[in-house]
Structure 1
Amino acid sequence: MILAKSGAAEELFNQVKGRQLDYLVNNAGVGLYGKFTETDMQTEMDMLYLNINSLTHLTKLVVKEMTARGKGRILNVASTAAFQPGPLMAVYYASKAYVLSFSEAIENELIGTGVTVSTLCPGPTRTDFSNRANLQKSKLFDGGTMASRDVAKAGYEGFRKGKSIIIPGTQNKLLAKSIRFMPRKIVTSVVRRMQNEK
């Protein structure tokens, strides 16, 4: 099943319909590196569908059942990219900003229902993501990466505690928090330098 295609989220939901769903983890997502004027349009449209549409659709389908029962936990995977614009990965960063904003908003709406929504915002992580996103030329992953196991553990622990935003790793936490105090143009320039080719 390809979640980047229309109707895939409902098809997946229908496969598990009738079972009690206590947890939903929206972890599927892809990126794409390169100048916006040069990247492939269809790849970006598929990315937006997967990172935004399918995540939203699955959440909508599952949260209705959870609220009816008064119990459930949802974990949406965003990224530290959600906290700032991302030159050379403009569409990906914007899609993760959506995930964070959407998750925080519905978390607030669900207060008192017995359903929690958490957002996991990892930084660069050792997975196949960088190869799939064509990040081999970018300096982004040169500053160090976290093991996927450590990210998953931090996400799981925060999720079980019902934390709103989970940012694994001290360096990632500092980055996400410091950005709030910097002018946006400076933030964008810093991210561009981090993303530039080696």
Structure 2
Amino acid sequence: MSKYSEAEALFQELQQQQITVDFLVNNAGYGLFGEFTETDLQDELSMIDINIKALTTLTKLFLPGMKQRRNGKILNVASTAAFQPGPLMAVYYATKACVLSFSEALENEMKGNGVTVTALCPGPTKTGFESRANLGQSKLFKSGVMDVERVANIGYEGLMKGKSIVIPGFKNRLLANSIRFIPRKWVTATVRNVQEKS
């Protein structure tokens, strides 16, 4: 659902059926591996459409009703990629940084309105993402991945508790929180190293 018209059509259909949406999960997205000068522009623009535009559009359509009813929860799936630049996946990492920033801003705006916004930031997870992104042979995915059911359960628990950011897994939380203390060039070089294929 990357086009505004498709999101609008879904919203209008639910309105016509008088279905109230109190929970919105924005989970669609994909990645693309490779140097920016060599990857396909259309593939990257489509990624921006799905990872950012569709998520923003659906939130824009459903959030006002939640605010008016003073009841609602939104879960936006970001990534641990949101916390640093990502050489060899530059556009993907940038889209997830946008999702995290957007979610944190909305969480602040909704305080006192009965609505919470949660950013779920998983690390490598066995979902098929690595195949679509051509990352199956990367050091990142060879170093271990989390089970999708476990990630989903942790995300759900965080959503229901109204947490603003949920990072499943101790290693992922440690990584995301330690990055701010490390020089940015080191972080970028390390990310490139783990993304490269072994």
* Bin for the TM-score computed over the shorter chain: over 0.9
Residue 179 of structure 1: aligned partner = 179
> Which secondary structure state, in structure 2, belongs to the residue aligned with residue 7 of structure 1?
helix
**Does 2:131 correspond to 1:135?**
no
Of the three residues 5, 12, 15, the one matched with 1:14 is 12
RMSD: 0.9
1:91-110 superposed matches below 5 A? 91-110=91-110
1:6 Cα deviation after fit: 4.1
Residue 114 of structure 2: aligned partner = 114
Deviates more, 1:115-124 or 1:136-145: 136-145
Contact preservation (8 Å) 1:51, 1:95? yes
The percent of aligned pairs where both chains have the same amino acid is 61
Contact preservation (8 Å) 2:107, 2:118? yes
Which structure 2 residue ranges, 5 or more long, are not aligned?
none
Contact preservation (8 Å) 1:77, 1:121? yes
> Which secondary structure state, in structure 2, belongs to the residue aligned with residue 15 of structure 1?
helix
1:137 Cα deviation after fit: 3.3
Contact preservation (8 Å) 2:136, 2:142? no
Q: Which amino acid aligns with 2:169?
A: G
Cα distance in 1 for partners of 2:61, 2:194 equals 38
**Does 2:63 correspond to 1:60?**
no
Deviations 1:126-178 (A, max 9, x none): 11111111112322101110000000010000000000100000000000001
> Which secondary structure state, in structure 1, belongs to the residue aligned with residue 151 of structure 2?
helix
Contact preservation (8 Å) 2:70, 2:115? yes
> Which secondary structure state, in structure 1, belongs to the residue aligned with residue 137 of structure 2?
coil
> Which secondary structure state, in structure 1, belongs to the residue aligned with residue 76 of structure 2?
strand
Q: Which amino acid aligns with 2:173?
A: K
Cα distance in 2 for partners of 1:163, 1:131 equals 30
Cα distance in 2 for partners of 1:87, 1:29 equals 18
Cα distance in 1 for partners of 2:37, 2:14 equals 41
> Which secondary structure state, in structure 2, belongs to the residue aligned with residue 111 of structure 1?
coil
Cα distance in 1 for partners of 2:52, 2:138 equals 24
> Which secondary structure state, in structure 2, belongs to the residue aligned with residue 106 of structure 1?
helix
CA shift in 2, pair 1:6/1:57, >3 Å:
closer
Cα distance in 1 for partners of 2:187, 2:179 equals 7
Deviates more, 1:10-19 or 1:141-150: 10-19
> Which secondary structure state, in structure 1, belongs to the residue aligned with residue 42 of structure 2?
helix
